[in-house]
Amino acid sequence: MIVLGIESSCDETAAAVLEDGRRVRSSIVASQDAIHAPYGGVVPELASRRHLEVIVPVVERALAEAGVRLPDLDGIAVTNGPGLVGSLLVGCSLAKALAWVNRTPLVGVNHLEGHIYAASLTDDPPEHPFLALVVSGGHTALYHAEAPLVYRLVGETRDDAAGEAFDKVAKLLDLGFPGGPQIEKVARGGSPNAIPLPMAQMSDQTLDFSFSGLKTAVSLHVKRNRPLAERDVADIAASFQAAAVKMLVRKTSKAARQLGATRLVLTGGVAANTALREGLAAAAAEQGLRLHVPPRSLCTDNAAMIAAAGTARLLAGERAGMDLNAIADLPLESVGKGVVPVIERSEAPSGRSHA
Ligand code: KG4
Ligand code: ZN
């Protein structure tokens, strides 16, 4: 089964061809970092315009590298949320057009489900049930994947996403965009205990995360200690990273204990962070949990993960029609409650707005 995945929810334009839900035949990711870097964050309008410019060549390259043509595809999977609506629309519109012209089954994929499915593209895919920590630029959440395509949200951030906090702290330290990889690099030269930073003052009864207090503490520290020497920047980056990792690991361990989970998945852009990978690996070993972490290239946004989730949904009989829409705040939880919605493939354009 050969599935084309298309991803354009934020600032990466990506396409991938996946065989039988496991074998990545090609995975192309066109980053927009250079476009957004001068602004220190993603500018939605610039993102959607850039997607529009590059999405066709990106898909063409993914098909060419995989050695397949459009009629060879058994399915097309596209991210239809959550994300920037203008960006999502570009991927959705192209996916619908390709599916329509070639009469290819189409399915919409939740971006967060895609991140979770990245773990299925390793040599050691997780069996259900498992607990998944999804840490990205837009989301930080713990999902209990109870059965294939069935998710229960067990904890989430009350304010900033983890990646957003990394990006904001990097901005405070003038480290450039995107901030996560910069913080990680600079932190190597600093001490994680150099600056006392508060953990969130949140009752430990909850499985929710909070990063805004941490970010504010860094901001105050930077203001009080300006100008910062290179060593100070390294110490702040290392201390912030350690505190953020501690929060993520602590809540995940707690959730695993409460749920009696035996398997853990770590995924999303921030899962590329070595301190987090190592911190969670140590906690998992201590608790006797089996940890599944995708390779870094599959943690950050890509379309192979979308094709993987899409393959599972197509095999479950799910089909999207030509009315598939981009939904900026598409929740994952509602996706599966044990029942997979089956939407027949449209045989004719619905006449409804595709926007
Ligand atoms: O999943 P992703 O590629 O896009 C979204 O769905 O948001 O995640 C991007 C986020 C950014 O905030 C970026 O700074 C962060 O992941 N990130 C990292 C690292 N690599 C990417 N954060 C910490 N350490 C890293 N090595
Ligand atoms: Zn993502």
Distance 178 CA to ligand 1 centre (A): 7
| pLDDT at site 154 | 96
State the ligand closest to the CA atom of 31.
1
| Torsion angle of C-alpha atoms 144, 146, 147, 151, degrees rounded to 10 | -50
| pLDDT at site 86 | 98
Pocket test for ligand 1, best of 109, 134, 136 (most atoms within 8 A of CB): 136
Nearest-atom index, ligand 1, CA of 274: 26
Q: Which of 105, 110, 133, 152 is CA-nearest to residue 3?
A: 105
Q: Which two tokens stand for residue 338?
A: 């044990």
Pair 89, 60: CB distance under 8 Å: no
Is the C-beta atom of 272 inside 6 A of ligand 1? Answer: yes
| pLDDT at site 342 | 39
| pLDDT at site 66 | 98
Is the C-beta atom of 138 inside 6 A of ligand 1? Answer: yes
Q: Which residues of 274-284 are buried (b: 16+ CB within 10 A; e: fewer)?
A: ebbbebbbebb
| Rg of the chain taking only CA atoms, in angstroms | 20
Nearest-atom index, ligand 1, CA of 138: 7
Q: Which two tokens stand for residue 131?
A: 């607990």
Is the C-beta atom of 136 inside 6 A of ligand 1? Answer: yes
Give average pLDDT by consecutive 10-residue segment, the chain, 355 residues: 98 98 98 94 97 98 98 98 98 98 98 98 96 96 96 96 96 94 98 87 78 94 96 98 96 97 98 98 98 98 98 98 97 53 38 33
Omega of the bond prior to 227 within 30 degrees of 0, cis? yes
Is the C-beta atom of 7 inside 6 A of ligand 1? Answer: no
| pLDDT at site 200 | 63
| pLDDT at site 348 | 36
Is the C-beta atom of 75 inside 6 A of ligand 1? Answer: no
Q: Which two tokens stand for residue 290?
A: 């089996």
- Token pair 């969130």 is at which residue? 200
CA distances from 171 to 33, 269, 303 (A): 14, 18, 28
Query: What 8-state DSSP symbol labels residue 235?
Result: H
Nearest-atom index, ligand 1, CA of 275: 24
CA distance 173 to 69: 47
State the ligand closest to the CA atom of 306.
2
Nearest-atom index, ligand 1, CA of 241: 23
Distance 9 CA to ligand 1 centre (A): 14
State the ligand closest to the CA atom of 42.
1
Task: Please name the residue whose Cα sits nearest to atom 2 of ligand 1.
Answer: 269
Q: Which two tokens stand for residue 90?
A: 């570009």
CA distance 103 to 74: 10
CA distance 55 to 7: 9
| pLDDT at site 333 | 75
List, in sequence order, every residue forming a beta bridge with 267; answer none if it has no partner: 134
